[in-house]
Amino acid sequence: MKDLKAEARAVGERLGAADTRGLNATLYWSQEMLDAEADRVAALEAAGAPLPLAGMPIALKDNIVTTDAPTTCASRILAGYRSPYDATVVRRLREAGAVIAAKANLDEFAMGSSTEHSAFGRVQHPTHPDRVPGGSSGGSAALVAAGVVPAALGSETGGSVRQPASFCGVVGVKPTYGRVSRYGLVAFGSSLDCVSVIGRTVNDAARVLAAISGPDDQDATTVAVEPLTIDATPGSLRGLRIGLPTEYFPADLDAGVRAGVDRAADALRALGAELVPVTLPHTKYAVPTYYVLAPAEAASNLARYDGVRYGVRRIGEAGDLAALYRATRGEGFGPEVRRRILVGTYVLSAGYYDAYYNKAQQVRNMIAADFSRVFAPGGVDFMLTPTTPTTAFRAGERTGDPVSMYLADIFVSAVSLAGLPAMSVPVGLSEGLPVGAQLIAPAFGESRMMAVASAVEAALDAAGEVR
């Protein structure tokens, strides 16, 4: 039996060391919380409960609510807020024997691609302090990549787990929309949000995803499908057809990224898979479509932060309700969140709703139809693409150019719009910086997708090309 108290102390030491070196990846942790978690798991073990994650320390992105720690969404408007309930995924992790280790830093309200938009300071890349770890789940990815925890939960709205996983050299898995409950995930874009998993290895990520998956009466968008079973045992891939979408391999793709994806493709061929070109013609519209729909949903969801019911309250000079709203939201929200609320309000306003929001919904359907066609019988089983167009960029390099920042999501946003599962797998280094390759699967194809990813991981590890 594990010495859970000793392991809790070791996790605390690693968290403290990460804080000391300035990683800034956590917004809350305490040794007292770790010790209490260890006692809880020990009691479950003593009672003979089945614990597939017994003692595994897991960090939570700080937009997943817990009763025993603050949930701030890295925003001053929620400073000190404590939820009266735990998220479904938190309850399921604890039932599986996991230890909740920390609340991880993020871009404010999960709006960003670099974790530079936190009200509590940017997260450093775990191996290159001058670079960003990606976002918005940059704190979760950095903690896993730095060896503080073997796995962490993040959230995906348009690539916020796969992109930082690629930048940090770890595994990031976005499940099918509806596979995992959103109850207790603070809403950003309700038709897109997915609780997702970051792991040091495919097996780590797979075990956590299996534990949190399944329908939930508290979330009507969850789907009653067969429970997720994970077979992450590497093996032959003979007979599999894997598509290479031409739109994801432009002429100006970073050479190091292309080389990493080529290594993954070579490994797949060696394992017996057939790689074939495919086309997803509406990919070029994915980023603009996402940045109409997601801000529109954000503007609606964030209307509740008004300084009346919870969170901070600022009294405006005029002393009336409108002044209260202006003062609270003006000071409580950071510039990126305000920008997206304004964009979302604009595209939902009278006279622009049809021109922008409705049109974006139509294009979203066309993007989803592209994937349906490629995955139809007689098509391919999976697709292989780069996760990101470049390796991790320098801190501050894109903060003054929002469009350039948004384009970091160019290879991940279409999958989110289609609601499909996808994952990023480390495939090597380019000039010392991690490169990730993305596997995309049909809806509810997580089990087979992770078996393929595990085979690639094993092949590249054996060749000395990843870790």
Do 138 and 50 share a structural domain?
Answer: yes
Residues 40-67 have pLDDT tens digits of 999 999 999 999 999 999 999 999 999 9
Residues 151-184 have pLDDT tens digits of 999 999 999 999 999 999 999 999 999 999 999 9
- Determine which one of 61, 103, 413, 424 is catalytic: 61
> CA nearest 137: which of 159, 119, 170?
159
Is 380 part of a structural domain of the chain? yes
Residues 209-240 have pLDDT tens digits of 999 999 999 999 999 988 787 765 656 799 99
Q: What is the mean pLDDT of residues 333-346?
A: 96
- Determine which one of 75, 114, 136, 424 is catalytic: 136
CATH number for position 415: 3.90.1300.10
Residues 118-163 have pLDDT tens digits of 999 999 999 999 999 999 999 999 999 999 999 999 999 999 999 9
Per-position b or e across 340-377, b if 16+ CB within 10 A of its CB:
bbebbbbbbeeeeeeebbeebeebbeebbebbeebbee
What's at 359, amino acid-wise? K
Is 311 part of a structural domain of the chain? no
Do 190 and 60 share a structural domain?
Answer: yes
Identify whether 136 is a catalytic site residue.
yes
Residues 371-413 have pLDDT tens digits of 999 999 999 999 999 999 999 999 999 999 888 899 889 999 9
Show the domain range for 384.
241-287+355-462
Q: Give one word for 431, left, alpha or beta, with left for phi > 0 and alpha for psi -120 to 50.
A: left
Do 271 and 151 share a structural domain?
Answer: no
- d(Cα 128, Cα 135) in Å, to the nearest integer? 15
Tokens for 152?
Answer: 């962490």
Which residues, including other chains, have CB under 8 Å from residue 34's CB and lie 6 or more apart? 8, 9, 11, 12, 57, 99, 101
Is 232 part of a structural domain of the chain? no
Is 18 part of a structural domain of the chain? yes
Tokens for 228?
Answer: 């997720």
Do 364 and 277 share a structural domain?
Answer: yes
Do 279 and 191 share a structural domain?
Answer: no
- Determine which one of 160, 181, 213, 424 is catalytic: 160
Do 168 and 264 share a structural domain?
Answer: no
Domain count along the chain? 2
The predicted pLDDT at position 316 comes to 67
Residues 410-450 have pLDDT tens digits of 999 999 999 999 999 999 999 999 999 999 999 999 999 99
Identify whether 359 is a catalytic site residue.
no
Do 130 and 89 share a structural domain?
Answer: yes
